[in-house]
Amino acid sequence: MTGRAAAWFGQCYQRAPEGVWHAPGRVNLIGEHTDYNEGFVLPFALRRGIWAAAARRSDGLLELRSRQFPGEPVTVALDWLAPGSVTGWAAYPAGVAWALRRAGHDIGGASLAIDADLAAGAALSSSAALECAAALALAGLYQLAVPRAELARLAAAAENDFAGVPAGIMDQSASLRCEAGHALLLDCRTGAGTAVPLDLAGPGLALLLIDTRTRRALADGRYAARRRACEEAARALGVRALRDVTDSSAIARRLTDPVLRRAARHVITENARVLAAADLLLAGRPGGCGELLTASHQSLRDDFAVSWPQADAAVSAAVRAGALGARMTGGGFAGAVIALIPQDRLAQVRASVSAAFGRDGWQPPGFSQVRPAAGAGRLR
């Protein structure tokens, strides 16, 4: 893919790129809708992701081209970048240039050619991977020494403030900061991250990613509505963020709105599940995470109301066929499911999920076994 990205750049701009950078997508093992509540998450990076081949230019323009959107090249003057000035897929890399300049980083014009093997809208964080690939490319072209945690913050600002998507910091942190063979236990308030070994082969386990063949956009309003509910619940409880609520009985006493009560209950219990899962991984007991995954899905389905029919069917079918646990992963409403499975039950789980989808007349699901990969970096 590195060579393909460089060739795509040459096709677009009739010259060679100065470098090629890659940023991976992520799977969140557990910890959903906790990041913008300043809580805890436990994602890991995928091998699949976004490539950005890039070179400087002297005219103060940012030109963006994508192999996945070949009919939509975008050229904009850096001095004219502002929220709303670029829309669609190009808003994410353009937003990164805007965020870097707003933070005082001296970047000039650039030509970027984007390539990907990560599906958009599949809950694998393609938008954050695009932002991180562009951030590394622009920082590399102009020799900016920006720490990874700060670069993740700027990429998240591009998504929140420029593209208008109210997501948290998890996806960008996972893409930039994850290590091969590990999940990242991230404290989304302090930014502190701990690499947690995610060794599944030793105990004979596997993580199966189930693509439910449904797609969504976080900008469609439902994600923002869940975030607003969490913010309202925190105000009603008198705390800065739901991460500060540790006494679950306070929810029943002080939240009369059932929507706010359920949202708060999910966040509080999900934070506890993340920390419990990290402890199990650190203790070398990954199989114990299975029940936590299923409990997370039930909470996302019943309390937070972000699951969807294909995800519920996939989780139920996987557990019936021998998975230790399963859950939807990502922001919700569509996308993927992750299942923790003994390796000798993989075939049965695939067959069970496929049969469940067939009975309901849905498009056949996709399956891939995933392992924690390295974070973003320069490839050439």
Which residues belong to the active site? 171
Cβ-based neighbour number of residue 239 at 10 Å: 16
Which residue do the tokens 């940023």 mark?
23
Hey, what are 209's tokens? 């990613």
**Strand pairing class (182-187; 193-197):** antiparallel
- Residue closest to 306 by CA, chosen among 208, 245, 187, 216: 216
- Chain centroid offset of residue 18 CA: 28
CB neighbour list of residue 192: distance below 8 Å, 6 or more residues apart:
186
| Separation between Cα atoms, residue 143 and residue 154, nearest integer Å | 16
SS3 string, 125-193, reads CHHHHHHHHHHHHHHHHCCCCCCHHHHHHHHHHHHHHHCCCCCCCHHHHHHHHCCCCEEEEEECCCCCE
Beta-strand ranges (E) seen in 58-128 are 61-66, 74-77, 109-116
